């Protein structure tokens, strides 16, 4: 073994580290460090020039001192000088010191950048590697500005060594993640894709990581990577472990590369048939290997094998186009549900939640219901139990709803406190959604309040009251059931609220029974009065005055209660006012006036369940699916459905190739509708009629409903006595997909039902829309769905109009509403540090780039609501950026087919004046103006 040279040993550093370790106290350590710092400072300032070895040694000591937690304020120039050395060890220490201690604002950054440029140009692979590692470690915006154009050239150069290509790919990935706007797309992108065919698997692995990240924001640039990724994946999964010895991990060939390739394929919809066949073979091979006996008992083998398997299952779920693969994936996951490894059980439950929403695998998932219920009862890990609850919720349909709801209620009695509220919401949603018999629904909700009353939010008991009021057939049963429930010695306050409301409205329906006479009902409720909080007492007082109207015989008794000092002189002003006003009303008003003022509550308008909205807010919109809609249209998937796409019904709506990302090229082939007539006035899609009928003006209230959708994607867009129009939409970059639900609220058929999308002449070039036809007959009480695929070509200000024409009972109906497709829907949120934000803010300082609006608040100025609206608007909400913590700051990028437009916003509330100042800066004046108009209307 050769002797260690002077350049490699650095004995002085070893002695110094030993001295520090031998210090008996903190004071001794500080004293030794100060002595060493003084020595190093004198060496650096001395007349005698230091050789490379000495500089390296002293810089190493400074680095060690810094890592111990002490400030270093000198030595930076010596480290920069080491970068010009031709010795690897000296250059390495120089780069290490710079990576750790030099910040992006340093005056030395220009010298450092020059040294890095020299090393990148040297073609010495070792020096190039050090320079690339330094760029990636610092990763600042300044580094990106200096080298984002150079690194792609290094990456695709023909004479670059494999190790340097790896470093260049990962370095470019780091810069793209920190400053995506500074990494230019160009000719190099197509050459990077071909790195997937490289002989060196290390280069392929690094390139795959880079391409996956780039493809998420620029799918069109990298769509050719799909066939190459499938080809490379095929070679890996069909090879023996001995074929890839250097990249085989515990008998699993190239597991990390396999996972990355599978993840890359999830950026795109199912490929062309030829490529799809080869991909299907790969996925089948991976599923087959999962069934083989393990080649090693070590945990590393099973971890690597299962990592590839779960990523393959994720791809199968993403494509949702191969029934055989989906069912096989479900069966494989079912085996993991009883595996002894907790992590595998968790991942299996999580993946099966997604499988439950596919029409091909839903029934296969349901076969595991007993196993999932058993997991709910016996699992020791709360996170696994929570996933079991999620899976039961996802697999629920009309056939198994009573069983699943009963099991959830049973589990609720012993469930962890952290997940009780979520279970309560899910039980309430399932009970409402799949209630064939609404008496079962009432029993379920009352049982829910009894078991977990503290976790039953207002939305839940509000909802049961809405449903009881809207359904005549269940009102008597609800009154009887709630009356019986209130007779328990201890009732939860939420049960008292429900009981007070229902008996106040429908107590007369059970008053004929001597066991529930009016006086008994009143006494039962009043016995709970003193135990309740102020809001509940206020509700009960309202119930009492309703009783005065319903049951004149108990009027004196109720007047005595209202007249008592505890009510008329109550310390709470709300209770006192109610008691005084109700007493006066019962005394002076005639029977007719009482009946008018206290008449039964009218039916509530149907809207999106507030419980479902609360669950979406709690879990996030992407994790909660609308069960009925999902089960009805499982074949439609926002990432590309299994069927091929319809022919466009208008030449003007032909999508670009990038539209295929959201499956715009993936829906069942249908005959194209007739071409629009020459006088169509901007008609984009007219699915059924031969000529466009007269379009009705916008329906009353349409503009208000449109404004509500600026910061949300789901809900009811329009509703009258005949028709309800609901929306669900998702957007990604410049593409989107909108599901429009038309509900017939009557018992009579709608005939010649014709929905038409209309774009003005100004809007047509900027927005491509493509639609699937709907059935021209809508049965009474039925709902039909229409899918609209959207592509934003350029920025726009107007919105398309949805015109619906149909015949109802022989009468022609014509309704028009604005479709809420607004520019902010194509926002992608961007996280930025405070320094980057204000630097960009100053760059957008031209008067044409800024739009400001000062306006009066139209709604209560609630901080959390404001945050939710800014996030719903599409931008990232940047915390701790503005010096004033009361202000709100956001950033994002508007994606169109032709360009990307960065956007910064600042909202300054003035609580005292009840006013806002909204400032928007973008690189395009029209975009700033439009976004400002849209967002200002939300506050």
Q: Is 57 annotated as a binding residue?
A: yes
Among candidate residues 216, 174, 141, the one with its CA nearest the CA of residue 828 = 216
Find out whether 43 is annotated in a ligand binding site: yes
CA distance 628 to 651: 34
Q: Would you say 889 and 906 are in contact if contact means Cβ atoms under 8 Å apart?
A: yes
Q: What is the DSSP letter of 890?
A: E
Report the C-alpha dihedral over residues 600, 605, 611, 613, rounded to 10 degrees: -150
Q: In the beta sheet, which residues pair with residue 390?
A: none
The total number of residues written for the chain in this structure:
939
Helical (H) or strand (E) element with 930 = helix 925-936
In the block, which residue shows the tokens 């391409």? 211
C-alpha 324/C-alpha 552 separation (Å) is 69
11 is in an annotated binding site: yes
Q: 343-365 burial by CB neighbour count: b if 16+ within 10 A, else e?
A: ebbbbbbbbbbbbbbbbbbbebb
E-assigned strand segments in 759-885: 767-771, 783-792, 801-808, 811-818, 827-829, 850-856, 876-878
- DSSP 8-class letter at 698: B
Q: Is 417 annotated as a binding residue?
A: no
CB neighbour list of residue 740: distance below 8 Å, 6 or more residues apart: 725, 726, 727, 755, 785, 786, 787, 788, 802
**Of 629, 635, 619, which is closest to residue 390 (Cα–Cα)?**
619
The 10 Å Cβ neighbour count of residue 320 is 27
Q: Would the annotation count 477 as a binding residue?
A: no
Query: Can you tell me which residue has the tokens 């135990």?
Result: 531
Residue pair 83/94 in contact by the 8 Å Cβ criterion: yes
Q: How far is CA 661 from CA 189, 312, 368, 381, 791, in A?
A: 18, 19, 33, 38, 10
Burial environment of residue 849 by CB neighbours within 10 A (0 to 12, 13 to 18, 19 or more): middle
CB atoms within 10 A of CB 915: 15
Count Cβ atoms within 10 A of the Cβ of residue 10 and give its class: 0-12 exposed, 13-18 middle, 19 or more buried: buried
| CA–CA gap between residue 851 and residue 933 (Å, rounded) | 10
Quick one: 137 exposed, middle or buried, by C-beta within 10 A (0-12, 13-18, 19+)? middle
Instruction: Mark out the alpha helices in 589-694 (DSSP H runs).
Output: 591-597, 610-619, 627-632
Interacting residues of 455 by C-beta distance below 8 A, sequence separation 6+: 420, 421, 423, 424
**Residue 554 annotated in ligand binding:** no
Computed from CA positions of residues 333, 335, 338, 342, in that sequence, does the dihedral angle turn out positive or negative? Answer: negative
Helices and strands in the chain: count of H runs, count of E runs: 40, 17
State how far the alpha carbon of 155 is from the alpha carbons of 135, 166, 654, in Å.
14, 8, 36
Cα(691)–Cα(682) distance, integer angstroms: 13
**Which residues, other chains included, contact 557 with Cβ-Cβ below 8 Å and sequence gap of 6+?**
519, 522
Residue 61 assigned as binding residue: yes
Q: Is 12 annotated as a binding residue?
A: yes
Question: Do 295 and 251 form a contact (C-beta atoms < 8 A)?
Answer: yes
Return the percent helix, strand and coil in the chain, to nearest 5.
Answer: 55, 10, 30
Residue indicated by tokens 């004149």: 552
Are 745 and 794 in contact, with CB atoms under 8 Å apart? Answer: no
Is 297 annotated as contributing to ligand binding? no
List residues forming the annotated binding site.
Answer: 11-12, 43, 53, 57-61
């Amino acid at each position: 073994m050769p002797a260690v040279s002077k350049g490699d040993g650095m004995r002085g550093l070893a002695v110094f580290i030993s001295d520090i370790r031998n210090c008996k106290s903190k004071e001794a350590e500080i004293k030794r460090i100060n002595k060493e710092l003084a020595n190093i400072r004198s060496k650096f300032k001395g007349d005698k020039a230091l050789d490379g070895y000495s500089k390296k040694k002293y810089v190493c000591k400074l680095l060690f001192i810094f890592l111990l937690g002490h400030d270093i304020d000198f030595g930076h120039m010596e480290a920069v000088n080491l970068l010009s050395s031709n010795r690897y060890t000296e250059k390495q220490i120089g780069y290490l010191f710079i990576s750790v201690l030099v910040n992006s604002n340093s005056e030395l950054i220009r010298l450092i950048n020059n040294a890095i440029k020299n090393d990148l140009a040297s073609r010495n692979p070792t020096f190039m590697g050090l320079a690339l590692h330094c760029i990636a470690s610092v990763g600042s915006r300044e580094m990106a500005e200096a080298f984002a154009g150079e690194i792609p050239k290094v990456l695709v150069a023909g004479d670059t060594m494999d190790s340097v290509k790896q470093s260049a790919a990962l370095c470019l990935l780091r810069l793209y993640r920190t400053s995506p706007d500074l990494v230019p797309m160009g000719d190099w992108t197509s050459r990077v894709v071909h790195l997937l065919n490289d002989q060196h698997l290390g280069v392929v692995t690094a390139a795959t990581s880079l391409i996956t990240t780039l493809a998420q924001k620029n799918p069109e640039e990298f769509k050719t990577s799909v066939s190459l990724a499938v080809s490379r994946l095929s070679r890996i999964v069909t090879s023996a472990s001995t074929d890839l010895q250097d990249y085989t991990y515990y008998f699993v060939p190239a597991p990390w590369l396999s996972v990355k390739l599978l993840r890359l394929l999830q950026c795109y919809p199912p490929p062309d048939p030829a490529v799809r066949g080869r991909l299907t073979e790969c996925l089948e091979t991976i599923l087959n290997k999962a069934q083989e006996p393990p080649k090693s008992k070590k945990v590393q083998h099973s971890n690597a094998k299962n990592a590839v398997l779960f990523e393959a299952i994720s791809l199968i779920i993403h494509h949702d186009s191969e029934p055989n693969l989906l069912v096989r994936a479900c069966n494989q996951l079912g085996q993991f549900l009883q595996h002894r490894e907790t992590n595998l059980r968790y991942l299996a439950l999580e993946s099966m939640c997604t499988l439950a929403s596919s029409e091909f695998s839903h029934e296969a998932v349901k076969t595991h219901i007993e196993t999932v219920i058993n997991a709910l009862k016996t699992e020791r890990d709360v996170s696994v139990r929570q996933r079991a609850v999620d899976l039961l919720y996802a697999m629920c349909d009309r056939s198994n709803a009573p069983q699943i709801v009963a099991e959830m209620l049973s589990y609720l009695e012993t469930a962890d406190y952290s997940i009780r509220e979520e279970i309560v919401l899910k039980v309430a949603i399932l009970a409402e959604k799949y209630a064939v018999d609404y008496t079962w629904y009432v029993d379920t909700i009352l049982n829910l309040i009894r078991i977990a009353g503290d976790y039953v939010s207002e939305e839940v008991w509000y909802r049961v009251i809405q449903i009881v009021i809207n359904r005549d057939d269940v009102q008597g049963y609800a009154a009887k059931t709630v009356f019986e429930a209130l007779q328990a010695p201890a009732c939860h306050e939420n049960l008292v609220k429900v009981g007070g409301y229902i008996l106040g409205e429908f107590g007369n329906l059970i008053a004929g029974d001597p066991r529930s006479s009016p006086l008994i009902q009143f006494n039962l409720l009043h016995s709970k009065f003193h135990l309740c909080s102020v809001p509940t007492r206020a509700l009960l007082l309202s119930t009492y005055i309703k009783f005065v109207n319903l049951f004149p015989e108990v009027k004196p008794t109720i007047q005595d209660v209202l007249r008592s000092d505890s009510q008329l002189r109550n310390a709470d002003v709300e209770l006192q006012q109610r008691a005084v006003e109700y007493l006066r009303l019962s005394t002076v008003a005639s029977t007719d006036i009482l009946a008018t003022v206290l008449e039964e509550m009218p039916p509530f308008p149907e809207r999106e369940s507030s419980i479902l909205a609360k669950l979406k807010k709690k879990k996030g919109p992407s994790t909660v699916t609308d069960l009925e809609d999902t089960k009805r249209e499982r074949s439609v998937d926002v990432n590309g459905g299994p069927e091929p796409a319809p022919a466009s019904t208008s030449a003007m709506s032909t999508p670009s190739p990038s539209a295929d990302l959201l499956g715009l090229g993936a829906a069942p082939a249908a005959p194209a509708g007739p071409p629009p007539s020459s006088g169509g006035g901007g008609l984009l899609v007219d699915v059924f009629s031969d000529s466009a009928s007269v379009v009705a003006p916008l329906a009353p209230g349409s503009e208000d409903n449109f404004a509500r959708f600026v910061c949300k994607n789901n809900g009811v867009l329009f509703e009258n006595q005949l028709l309800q129009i609901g929306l669900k939409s998702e957007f990604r970059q410049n593409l989107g997909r909108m599901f429009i639900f038309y509900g017939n609220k009557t018992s009579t058929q709608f005939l010649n039902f014709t929905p038409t999308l209309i774009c003005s002449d100004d809007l047509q070039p900027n927005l491509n829309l493509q639609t699937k036809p709907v059935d021209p007959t809508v049965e009474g009480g039925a709902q039909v769905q229409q899918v609209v695929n959207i592509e934003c070509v350029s920025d726009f200000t107007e919105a398309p109009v949805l015109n619906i024409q149909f015949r109802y009972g022989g009468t022609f109906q014509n309704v028009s509403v604005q479709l809420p497709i607004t520019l902010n829907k194509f926002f992608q949120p961007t996280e930025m540090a405070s320094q980057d934000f204000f630097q960009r803010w100053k760059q957008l300082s031209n008067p044409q780039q800024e739009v400001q609006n000062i306006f009066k608040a139209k709604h209560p100025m609630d901080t959390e609501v404001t945050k939710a609206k800014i996030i719903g608007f599409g931008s990232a909400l940047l915390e701790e950026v503005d010096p004033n913590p009361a202000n709100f700051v956001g950033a994002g990028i508007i994606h169109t087919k032709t360009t990307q437009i960065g956007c910064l916003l600042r909202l300054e509330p003035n609580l005292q004046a009840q006013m806002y100042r909204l400032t928007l800066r973008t690189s395009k004046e029209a975009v700033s103006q439009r976004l400002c108009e849209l967002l200002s209307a939300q506050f």
